[in-house]
Each structure stands twice: as structure tokens, then as C-alpha cells.
Amino acid sequence: MHRSLKEEASRDARSHERAEPSSEFGVASSRVDVRGTQTTVTAASAASPRIASGEEHPSNSPLSIHDMTVAYHRKPVLWDVDFDAPEGRLIGIVGPNGAGKSTLLKAVLELVPKASGRVTIYGAPYRRQRRLVGYVPQRESVDWDFPVSALDVVAMGTYARIGWLRPVTRKYRDAALAALSRVGMADYADRQISQLSGGQQQRVFLARALVQDAKVYLMDEPFAGVDAATEKAIVRILHDLRDAGRTVLAVHHDLQTVPEYFDHVMLLNMRIVASGPTRDVFTRENLQKTYGGRLTLLEQAAHAMARGIANSE
Amino acid sequence: MNWSSYDTWIVLTGALCAGACALPGTFLILRRMSMMGDAISHAVLPGLAAAFMLTGSRGSWVMFAGAAVVGVLTALFTQWVNRLGKVEESAAMGVVFTALFALGLVMLVQAADDVDLDPGCVLYGSLELAPLDARLFFGTRVPRAALMLGAVFLVNLVLVIAFYKELRISSFDPELSTTLGIPAGMLHYGLMTMVAVTTVAAFESVGSILVIAMLIVPAASARLLTDRLWLTLALAVVLGAGGAALGHVGAIVVPSWFGFADTSTAGMMAVAAGAIFALCLLAGPRHGLVSRVVHRLGLALRIAREDILGLLYRLEEAGDLRRARAGEVASLMRSAIGGGRAVTRIALADLRRRGRVTLRSGELRLTPLGREDARKLVRSHRLWETYVARHFALPPDHLHPSAGRTEHYLSRDMRRAIEDEADLPKRDPHGAPIPERTNEPS
């Protein structure tokens, strides 16, 4: 029965893809919903080899995640994530602490290993499309006492373009300075980064992502611990990016501002609870499902897998 | 002091050693893994011993290869013990490097009993003997150790310059580095190899314990002096070399003060490096203790000056100028603000010198300039009281101490912001008039 539902959903997805490409996201999310209960998670992926080939994913999607499971020490922290990002949208990733939001981004970027699954960027594996993806890590992930200036940090966004063993030339420093001005930080270019406030540091990170000139941006809590002015500046830049056809996935914590900031939302708690246009998906019911405690069975299964205990019954 | 070319070679060898160590050392410090330098410098020993046992020679290249392999293994083992054994990282490092070092020691005692690769030399080095083992190099007799350390220094310098950008990003933000196609893991092991090779080259000269001083101390000193990466690297090399020179001179000179013959040069070099670090700690421009103390004192003096002006302004306001006598003000300062007698006296002299206050027949008077400054301060004080009264749930008698602390730090814009927010208040919560805004510069 699950299998037929699943097939129905993916048939549906393909037909929509032809008729109305922009709505394929919503349908894709309903496919996720179908499998969102823990009983179907493994059943669905095991049941249909055709789906395992991933052919239902549109090749033009900026980011397609196909049946990705991420585990630390064999203990799954993210289960069977299946997701297609619609192009040119701001997508909020929302969920409680420990839901696997950062892990999702890091697994896409191959910073943590995937237990299974596949990620494509515009139809090709991430490794071949690195240049198209920009990453804004959590602000706390780096040492802000490091002896570099704000401009130095932003210029790091150009290193992939510069290539190995070549110095950062004037051209790239100018690009970095332009990105700093875009976030309103041109006056702070020569400051040592420890002398910047939290909001200013976050803007430097954002400028570094801008200078990468990527098509897909993955941002880990860009709004965490920033002042009101910075929050506004970031929102403005996100809107600019969207208007330029860029796709942004951002981990977000403040539920109140989700409908205001994001067109689409992915509700995450060890699995995708729901995803789609904010107005459809960001409902009280879905939020309750996301935040109302973890799925006990999922946790038990994860623990059993971590310990390597098979259930013989 | 009796200086010969022998001493010059010792200093040069030590300086090259320090320079070679300072380059990877700076990155160890910036990656907050200084102890990894410690670990690797000890753990390369079995690599050296194994290379010696296999080939029976002390040929430099074999030693380098053995050390490099074990150096990288140390980093790998540490990571495995840390991850697989779920042992905390510093503990994992402790387990790995002591085990490897002990293994190396055992191998050495077994295999190399009769050669000069003895445990004592491994621990303390033999820099003093370096000039004895010299080779012909472009017509000059150059100590073998100096040639080797010079080569390692040059290689390190070229690598750091070539991979400057890659080392910088992978040290600062390894995750972003990896997503940009600059694999942080690879650079990590590259750096560990550099540390291992450098350590081996430095081994014979300064030994496995003092090499840590050369890896870490000059880099830590340089870090106190600047906030620029390239300057940190350059200063680390310079300070390291300076420490080496100072150390050798010290080894000859200092013991004679106490009636002893000269002492271990390598040991004295490490002591000199420590002394240079202490100096940087005291005199560093931004992080230095001296500059911090000077800044504090300047601040205390400014606060005392402003407090005196505020006091005189309030006395004037109350028409109570009888009390504005120098002695009275000092005692008022003590009771009202808690300023010390010495600070008050210096601040008062300072105010007279700056033309803020005049002292005539024992009475203090504000000059027009002084009155303007005082107005600003009292304005800050009373505006802050208004602000706190509006936003904090505090009884009125708690407002004064808060304003007394904050008044010295409010800028013109902050004062105006408070004023605008409170709809241009005329009086503070206690009913005292708030001086009006003027075209004050700032």
C-alpha cells in the first residue's frame, strides 16, 4: 500500500514537472510526507528499485538530495532525506536542536560522510559542481582571534577561482572590497576580525559568500546572534540573491520570522517532516509534528544500529 | 668574552634552526594545536631509530624519510585514538606520543649503543659541537648542521610562501576551505610532515625538548605583537633568530657573573626565547601589560578630572562656592566619588594646566572652558538617570551610582538619542535641571 502511494506520488511529480515546473517542489514534498512516518521509511526505499535510481529527480534542480542518510559512528542522525530545491527561492530549514539541520548542510557539502544517498547540484554530483555552491558556516565554527583582517576573510571566497599556488591579486581584493561594501562593511576592511561585533562578523561571512558568486547558497544560522540592523541587511541581501535567480537554503531558528523571510520551508527533525511553500507547509500542525518530541522508534532504531544489535524476533 | 668564528657558526646554526621551526610553529599556534608539535617532536624518535636500524647509516635523507612517516602517523594515530576510542584529544595525543617516544628510546638503546645517536643527545642536542663536523661548501667550511638547517629553513620558507593562501584558509576555516576544493585534511598532514622534518633537522642541534621552545615560543611572542599573519610569520623568524643569538651570548656571559664556566647553549637559547616572550607580553602594543596599565591609569585620571569638574559645577549650581576650596574638594571627592588623594591631586594639577580650573587664594573656580566640559558631564549624568528611570525598574536612589559610572562614556550622539527618546526632558528624575544641548563638537 505504501508502495502504491509512493508510485502515485512520483507519477504525480513527473506529470507536474511537465505541466508546471515551478510547482514540482510542493509535490515533491508530498512525496516526502507520504514517507514521513517511520514505518514507511525503509519499506519505501527497499520496495522500488526504479526509485532508487533517482530518476524522479528533475535534472535542472539547483539541489537534489536523493534518499540521503547520515550517520555518526553508524548511528543515523538524518534519515532518508529526499528533497528537490526549487530554483530562485529562499528556503528556510527549521527544526529543534539536534534535528540534524547543520548535518544536512555538511552532508551535502561532503564535510561529513553520507551513509547512503546521493546529492546533485544542477543535475551533476557535488564534486563536479563545487564552484556553484557557496557555504556560510556557523559563526562560532571559526577562531575570531585569527590574525586576519575583514578583507582577508572575504577574499577567501575567491580562492577557488584564483587556484592553487597563486597569490591574491589586486583584482580579487577589489572584488572582496566590493562585497564588503554590499554588506555595508567597507569601512571595516582593515579591521582585525576580533574587533568586530557579532553582527559585523556575520556580515563578513555573508560578504565572503557573495564574492564566491555561487548559484546555490547553504547558510548555517546566518541570523544567529546578530543585531536588528544586521538582520535587516541580511534579509535585503537574501532578497537580492533571490531576484538574481540564486537559491538559498538557510538554517533558521526564529519561528516568528519564517513566513516573512522564506518562500519555502523545510521542517526537519531527524527526517523531513514536511517541506514546500511556506504558506502551505508552515502550519501549526506541522510545527507540532516537528517540535513535539522526537520519534521514539526512530531513536531506538538509531541506538540499535549504533550498538550493532540486530533484532532476531 | 672571547668570540671566534666557532661562536659565529653556533649562533648561525641556532638562528637557522629557530627560523626553520618558527614557520610551521606559527601555524601550529594559530590552529591551537601547539601540543601537536610537542607530540611529533618526541614521536619521530622510533622513525629515526628504525631508519638507522634498516640502513645502518645516519644519512640525512633516510632519517628525514623515517621521521616524516612517523610524524604523519602520530597525527593519524592521535585522530584514531580520539575518534575510535572516544578518548579526549589531548589524552589521545599523550597516549600516542609517549608510547612512540618510549619505543624509539628502547630501539635506540638496543641498536645504536656505540654511535653518537645517544639518548642524551636526543634530549638536549649538541649545538656546541656542531662546528666540529664541517663540510666544504662553495669553498668555505660550513658545519653540516648549519647546511641541513639552512636547507630546511629555505624549503619551509618556499612552501609557506607558495601555499600561503591555502595554509591561511585551511587554518582559519577548514570547512569552507574544503568546500572550495582546498582539502583542509591534506594541508593538515602536509603541515605535520613539515613539523616532523623540521624537528628531525633540529634534533641533533637542540634536542627533542628544546625544539618545542623553538616551534612555539617565537611564534607565540610574535602573535602578541601583531594582528597580521605575514607579519606574525616574519616576526616569529626574527625573534627566534634573535633568541638564538642572545642565548649563545648569554651562555658565555651569564654564568661568569656567578663564577661558573659557560653553560649549555641550546638551554640558554630556550631561556632567551622565554625572556623575549616575557618582554612581548609586557610591552606588546595592544595586548601588552604595560600598555594596558597605561591605558587604565589614563582612564582613571580622566574620570577623576571629570568628577572634579562635575563637583564644581554642582556647587556653582547650588550657589555653595564657599566649599569650593581645594582641600574641601579633595575631601568631597573622597566621600562622594571615592577617588584617592594622590589621583585627585594629580587630576587637579592637570585641570589647572589645561585651563579648566583656576585656584586663587585657596578657592577653585571653573573657567569658561571648564564649565563647558562640566556641563557636558552633568548633562550625561542626568540624561542617563532619565534613561535608566524609564527603562529599569529601580527605586530613584539607585539611579545615581549607575549614572556616576556611565556619565564618562556617553558620546554626543548617545546623549541626543536619549534626549530624543525621552521627548527632550527638562529635568532629571530627581528634579534637577538637565543642561540643554549646545553645538558641542562631540
pLDDT band at B263; cut points 50, 70, 90: confident
pLDDT band at B336; cut points 50, 70, 90: low
Chain B residues at the A interface, defined by Cβ less than 8 Å, are: 30, 32, 162-166, 168-169, 171-173, 175-182, 223, 226-229, 231-232
Q: Which domain, by its residues, includes B196?
A: 5-285
pLDDT band at A252; cut points 50, 70, 90: very high
* Residue B191 and residue B78 in one domain: yes
Cβ–Cβ gap A164/B166 under 8 Å: yes
For the sheet with A216-219, list strands across it.
Answer: A133-136, A216-219, A247-251, A90-94, A264-268, A272-277
Which of B165, B173, B179 lies closest to A109 in CB terms? B179
Mean pLDDT of A174-203: 94
Sign of CA dihedral B272, B273, B274, B275: positive
* H or E, element range at B205: helix B184-225
* Residue B386 and residue B354 in one domain: no
CA end-to-end distance (rounded Å), chain B = 60
Q: What is the pLDDT of residue B125?
A: 76
Strand-strand pairing, A114-121 and A124-125:
antiparallel
Q: pLDDT (tens digit, 9 = 90+) per residue, A39-87?
A: 333 333 333 343 444 456 777 899 999 999 999 878 889 999 999 999 9
* Residue-by-residue DSSP string for B25-65: HHHHHHTT-HHHHHHHHHHHHHHHHHHHHHH----HHHHHH
pTM of the model as a whole: 0.81
* Residue B206 and residue B276 in one domain: yes
C-alpha cell at A143: 577562531
Nearest to A214 by CA among A293, A160, A153, A280: A160
Q: What is the pLDDT of residue B58?
A: 66
* Residue B238 and residue B344 in one domain: no
- The average confidence (pLDDT) of chain A is 82
Contact with chain B for residue A168, Cβ under 8 A: yes
In chain B, DSSP finds a helix count (H) and a strand count (E) of 17, 4
Cβ–Cβ gap A147/B165 under 8 Å: no
Final residue in a domain of this structure, among B262, B285, B308:
B285
Indicate if the pLDDT at residue A3 is higher than 50: no
* Residue B222 and residue B307 in one domain: no
Phi, psi of B34, deg, nearest 5: -55, -35
* Residue B345 and residue B265 in one domain: no
Final residue in a domain of this structure, among B350, B366, B382:
B366
Q: What is the pLDDT of residue B145?
A: 87
- Give which of B179, B187, B286 to mutate to test A binding, by max A Cβ within 10 Å: B179
Chain A / chain B CB contacts < 8 angstroms = 75
User: CA-CA distance, B347 to B336, in Å (whole number)?
Assistant: 16
Final residue in a domain of this structure, among B252, B285, B318:
B285
* Residue B350 and residue B387 in one domain: no
Residues of chain B with pLDDT > 90, as a percent, come to 32
CA distances in angstroms from B138 to B141, B142, B147, listed in the order given: 8, 9, 12
**CATH number for the domain including B268?**
1.10.3470.10
* H or E, element range at B357: strand B357-360
Number of residues that make up chain B: 442
**CATH number for the domain including B409?**
1.10.10.10
Contact with chain B for residue A164, Cβ under 8 A: yes
Closest-CA distance, B178 to chain A, in angstroms, reads 8
Q: How many beta carbons lie within 10 A of that of residue A135, not counting itself?
A: 26
* Residue B104 and residue B241 in one domain: yes
CA distances in angstroms from A49 to A4, A44, A59, listed in the order given: 14, 10, 19
Q: Which residues contact B365 (CB under 8 A, 6 or more apart)?
A: B312, B321, B324, B357, B358, B359
* Residue B175 and residue B300 in one domain: no
**CATH number for the domain including B311?**
1.10.10
Closest-CA distance, B317 to chain A, in angstroms, reads 41
- The average confidence (pLDDT) of chain B is 85
Contact with chain B for residue A47, Cβ under 8 A: no
- Looking at beta carbons, which residues of chain B come within 8 Å of A141? 173, 175
Closest-CA distance, A144 to chain B, in angstroms, reads 8
* Residue B426 and residue B295 in one domain: no
- Give how many domains chain B has, as a whole number: 3
* H or E, element range at A81: strand A75-85
Task: Decide: residue A313, CB within 10 A, 0-12 exposed, 13-18 middle, 19+ buried.
Answer: exposed
* Residue B212 and residue B359 in one domain: no
* Residue B193 and residue B175 in one domain: yes
Higher pLDDT, B139 or A273: A273
Helix ranges (H only) for B226-337 are 229-257, 265-283, 289-317, 326-336
